[in-house]
Structure 1
Amino acid sequence: MSFTVAIVGRPNVGKSTLFNRLVGKKLALVDDTPGVTRDRRPGDAKLIDLRFRIIDTAGLEQSGPDTLQGRMWAQTEAAIDEADLSLFLVDAKGGLTPADETLAEMLRRRGKPVVLVANKSEARGSDGGFYDAFTLGLGEPCPISAEHGQGMLDLRDAIVAAIGEDRAYPPEDDVAETDIDLRPTFKDEDGEEEEAEAYDETKPLRVAIVGRPNAGKSTLINRFLGEDRLLTGPEAGITRDSISVEWEWRGRTIKMFDTAGMRRKAKVQEKLEKLSVADALRAIRFAETVVIVFDATIPFEKQDLQIVDLVLREGRAAVLAFNKWDLVEDWQTVLADLREKTERLLPQARGIRAVPISGHTGYGLDRLMQAIIETDKTWNRRISTARLNRWLESQTIQHPPPAVSGRRLKLKYMTQVKARPPGFMISCTRPDALPESYVRYLINGLRNDFDLPGVPIRMHFRSGDNPYESKAKKRR
């Protein structure tokens, strides 16, 4: 993007609403409650013909640096320092407050371009607040309505005037395009040519970090980044929005999503927490690999198991991270106990990769990233049809399908219909009569024989076409 813009202002002036308007999606949580936004959230904005990077920030709440509000404001100051331009939002309907004057003075001291924006200008009685904004000494305010999209053209003109046309409209680079299909092909053991989608080691990887509140998710991501990018603290439930951050690991771009802690559904009563959990669920669906963070001091709570089951039912590749390992004393005994419980309590994810880590000290983070990459490879794996049918034949010989109502079921043909997660289709007689126990036998055999540990496997059955069906209808 050509330049970066930070949206700043006191709580509840409409910063997140304007952010969602500019990025064209409902990325940031919006509620009437002041102080919903806590972390700084970046996004790619589009305003008429302008393209720029935008950062949503927490509202100014004057408090001590050791308090949650103080740490939130430190994140906002970091966004202002990072940005080339600040959009200073004031509430034209509610009028100015001392917090607006404090923030205006701070922005003047920074010496960076500022666009004063009078939001909620569509409301009756907003003229007084609009004219009061002139007293801040930051120039003429730009009247808009972030909720209704009014005044966006004037806002674009104000941004261009503040940043300069050369910065606002940089020359575009020519990008060469090619229509050549570079995917390799191979021949299986029977000489049948199939298309192979080779695993791309350079493709950006989307990873969601989920878990119960206060499991250390934000601290873990900060340790990966090497900076205090996300708001952390001893309080449970600090994170509300699902914040995405990008960094590189061994030359590969990793896009990580920090999510709100997920409590038991019965305990989630407030509307804001429901919005946060819904945002975390969207992050899980958008991600490719999901890291479920356990508190190693109190692992395998009922909610932990439910989160793992949710991730697997969504079809995501899952990795377990036992965080706070620096607080464990007898680590050999604890590790053996965790391995036993993982196998016993998560039979639907047999072979799932689990790594002890410490987000506070950085212990085990390289092993965690390696487990993420290996799990993603497994999640993307494809198996040739010839190999699958030879495997199916050997499985049915070792353990034939049961007979139902005196007629034995026949498994005729097998193929992989999709990856991400691996999905297989078996053509058979009377698929509805195939017992669940035999389906589990086939899935476990696939895991063991084709090295598919810890990823969800989808198995579909269908009856083969009857070539005599049309003739039978004619005789009738």
Structure 2
Amino acid sequence: MTVTVAIVGRPNVGKSTLFNRLVGRKIALVDDTPGVTRDRREADGRIGDLRFKVLDTAGYEDRTDGSLEDRMRQQTEIAIRDADIILFMIDAKAGVTPLDERFAQVLRRAGKDVHLIGNKAEGRAADPGLMEAYSLGFGEPVAISAEHGLGLADLHAIVSKAVDAAAEKEAEASHALEDLMPEVDVDVTDEGMDEDGPVRRWDPRRHLNVAIIGRPNAGKSTLINRMVGEDRLLTGPEAGITRDSILVPWEYGGRVINLVDTAGMRRKSRIELKLEKLAVSDSLRSIQYAEVVVLLLDAQIPFEKQDLALADLVEREGRAMVIAVNKWDTIEDKNEKLAELREQCERYLPQLKGVPLVTISGLQGRNIDKLMSAIFAIEERWNSHVSTARLNRWLGAMTESHPPPAVSGRRLKLRYMTQAKIRPPSFILFCSRPEAVPNSYQRYLVNGMRETFDLPGTPIRLWLRGGKNPFDKSEK
């Protein structure tokens, strides 16, 4: 049984810094600006030999007016409900504030196992604040410094007790269940067994990382909430709500899909604030770690300059991509608009000819099945492998129908071709003078591979190398 630890507190006390420390990686954005974290983030944490689940939360603000701060508070309260241990963090240097006192009342009503954490306690300046923390009614505060890694031994003791208690409770429940169940002989057929035991219906290791990207207010968080069937991410009419890239696991079609919500990305010239730069950098890293990227467009203003820049970025990174046109419920003449979108896609993105384009409504949950079918199809193409024999038969037919041009009065010789890797499909072409092969002829070959080997919309890498065909004995 996995123990869940939630880190809560008012804004700017160091919750995300401790979260990164426990996870062992800097995956949550950290800045001196209050309110950097808005969504709750989940990851696997560790202290020494202990393994547990850790939740990072938004800074608690006592608002109930439907504002962004109110929605952030609701996300924090969901994390409190789901957690086994609450680490209530205060700023030891600043002491106890009225908002800390208000939050302490909320935690007492929650009836959870709450431990008071005094962060930023690396110097004597924190001593008065630690003494003042007794007034919150949670006993002796644990003095730590998340930034410097001090006090983790005390956190280890707290989590260790919870892990032991959870294991004991799970054992008692298991024994009680065994006492209630009668002894029966179970006939297990070959259909449900393999050499190692029963066959699972789905393998959780077969996960797929899918990043949702797009301009601000395109509906990325709303789409993910609709896909997973709960208000997992913070949404609203305000543009730029999402800052961190949040991973949301979701089971679909017998597979675990890791949906990654990202911050909306504007043109570089419009990004001025340091915090927005950090958020965009986090989104770019999410593209690098994704396998499939969904570029979400606004149906009212599709294929803006920034949309095309993002598509080009995904192609350069070699990720598989699906274009999803959101807010399709707002379009009146859908047939005419769809034909226009397909024409624009072919014209603006020739480097991704045939990329899947799906119309959806994240708000109403329309065509999510079509979106997932497109994701699985493009993933399969992204993992395609073509045999060397088939490649060279194709290369012979292509050069016969359209021979490579003569450069400086000398004919180019294309000798041999093989696939070097997948994800994305990458090919090596051995030829007489690699530097002389025109880009137009390389595009001719790449487009031919897309059509012949069923690779529409997939990034294709073609590397030219000099040298002779190693399997041609006549050239030795």
Q: For the Cα contact (< 8 Å) 1:142–1:158, is it kept in 2?
A: no
Equivalence for 2:112: 112
Shift of 1:202: 7.5
The question of whether the paired residues in 2 share the 8 Å contact of 1:65 and 1:71 is answered with: no
Could you tell me how far 1:158 is from its partner in structure 2?
Answer: 2.7
Deviation, structure 1 residue 49: 1.9
8 Å contact kept, 2:144–2:150: yes
3-state DSSP class of the match of 1:417? Answer: strand
Deviates more, 1:108-117 or 1:26-35: 108-117
Structure 2's unaligned 5+ residue stretches are 172-194, 197-202, 471-476
Measured in 2, the distance between the counterparts of 1:168 and 1:85 equals 15
Residues 201 and 115 of structure 1: CA distance in aligned 2, closer, same or farther (over 3 Å): closer
**CA drift at 1:156:** 1.2
String of CA shifts for 1:414-448, please: whole Å, max 9, x gaps.
00000000000011001001111100000000000
- Distance in 2, matches of 1:124 and 1:143, equals 11
Deviation at residue 123 of structure 1 after TM alignment: 3.2
Partner Cα distance (1:294, 1:201) in 2:
30
Asked if 2 retains the 8 angstrom alpha-carbon contact of 1:115 and 1:159, the reply is no
- Pick from 249, 268, 278: which aligns with 1:246? 249
Question: Matched residues in 2 for 1:252 and 1:267: separation?
Answer: 39
1:412 pairs with 2:415: yes
Give the counterpart of 2:377 among 364, 370, 374: 374
Tell me the CA shift for residue 159 of structure 1.
3.0
**Contact persistence 2:416–2:469 (CA under 8 A):** no
Q: Is 1:357 aligned with 2:360? A: yes
Match of 2:95, SS? Answer: coil
SS at match of 2:378: helix
Report whether the alignment pairs 1:299 with 2:294: no
For 1:237, which of 240, 245, 256 is the aligned residue?
240
What is the SS of the residue equivalent to 1:27?
Answer: coil
2:311 equivalent in structure 1: 308
Residue correspondence of structure 1 range 47-446 to structure 2 within 5 A: 47-161=47-161, 163=162, 165-167=164-166, 203-446=206-449
Shift of 1:124: 3.7
* Aligned equivalents of 1:404, 1:310: Cα separation in 2: 32
TM-score, length basis structure 2: 0.90
Q: Could you say which residue in structure 2 is the equivalent of 1:459?
A: 462
Cα distance in 2 between the residues matched to 1:29 and 1:123: 25
Contact 2:221/2:234 (<8 A) preserved = yes
User: Are the aligned partners of 1:202 and 1:251 in contact in 2 as well (CA < 8 Å)?
Assistant: no
1:41 aligns with 2:44: no
Alpha-carbon contact 1:3-1:168 (below 8 Å) kept: no
Specify the code of the residue in structure 2 equivalent to 1:288. Answer: E
Q: CA deviation at 1:62?
A: 1.6
Number of matched pairs:
440
1:135/1:268 Cα in 2 relative to 1: closer, same or farther (>3 Å)? same
Q: Distance in 1 between matches of 2:159 and 2:249?
A: 27
Task: Report the Cα offset of residue 203 of structure 1.
Answer: 1.8
1:289 and 1:372 in contact (8 A); partners too: yes
Check the 8 A contact 1:95/1:128 in 2, yes or no. yes
Q: SS in structure 2 opposite 1:322?
A: strand
Contact 2:430–2:469 under 8 Å retained in 1:
no
Partner of 1:203, secondary structure, is: coil
Work out the CA distance in 2 between the residues paired with 1:393 and 1:369: 37
Could you tell which deviates more after superposition, 370-379 or 107-116? 107-116
Residue 17 of structure 2 corresponds to which residue in structure 1? 17
1:332 shift after superposition: 1.1
- Alpha-carbon displacement from aligned partner over 1:300-328 (angstroms, at most 9, x marks no partner): 11001000000110000000000000111
Aligned residue in 2 for 1:194:
none
Corresponding letter in the other structure for 1:107 = L
Q: In structure 1, how many angstroms separate the alpha carbons of the residues matched to 2:96 and 2:167?
A: 30
Cα distance, 1:447–1:100 mapped onto 2, change above 3 Å: same
Question: How much has 1:250 moved relative to structure 2?
Answer: 1.6
Tell me, what secondary structure is at the counterpart of 2:61? coil
For 2:52, give the aligned amino acid.
Answer: F
**Distance (whole Å) between structure 2 residues aligned to residue 217 and residue 459 of structure 1:** 33
Cα deviation code 1:65-106 (max 9, x no counterpart): 410000000000000001111000011001110111111111
The separation in 1 between residues aligned to 2:337 and 2:225, in whole angstroms, is 26
| 1:90–1:119 contact (8 Å) kept in structure 2 | yes
Give yes or no for contact 1:208–1:256 (8 Å, CA) kept in 2. yes
Q: CA deviation at 1:160?
A: 3.0
C-alpha deviation, 1:63, in angstroms? 1.6
Query: What is the one-letter code of the residue matched to 1:223?
Result: R
1:168: how far off?
6.8
Identify if the C-alpha distance between structure 1 residues 93 and 201 changes in structure 2 by more than 3 Å, giving closer, same or farther: closer
SS at match of 1:22: helix
Which has the higher mean CA deviation after the structures are superposed, 282-291 or 100-109?
100-109
Aligned twin of 1:185: none
Q: Report SS of the residue matched to 2:212.
A: strand
Distance 1:372 1:328 in 2: 24
3-state SS of the aligned residue for 2:125? Answer: coil
Distance 2:101 2:293 in 1: 44
Aligned letter for 1:167?
A: A
Residue-by-residue CA offset, 1:396-417 (whole Å, 9 max, x unaligned): 0000011111110000000000
1:147 partner amino acid: E
CA distance in 2, matches of 1:240, 1:381: 35
Alpha-carbon distance in structure 1 between the residues aligned to 2:167 and 2:127:
30
Cα deviation for residue 157 of structure 1 reads 1.3
Q: Deviations over 1:245-269 (max 9, x none)?
A: 0111121110010000000000011
**Among the aligned pairs, what percent are the same residue?**
61
Aligned partners of 1:164 and 1:262: how far apart in 2?
A: 41
Shift of 1:273: 0.3
Q: Which amino acid aligns with 2:352?
A: A
Is the Cα–Cα contact under 8 Å of residues 204 and 256 in structure 2 kept in the other structure? no
Residue 238 of structure 1 aligns with an amino acid whose one-letter code is: I
For structure 1, the residue ranges without an aligned partner over 5 or more in a row are 172-177, 180-199, 468-476
On the 8 A contact 2:381/2:455 being kept in 1, the answer is yes
Q: Which residue of 2 aligns with 1:191?
A: none
- Any idea what the Cα deviations from partners look like across 1:381-408, whole Å, max 9, x if unmatched? 0000000000000000000011111110
Are 2:35 and 1:32 equivalent residues in the alignment?
Answer: no
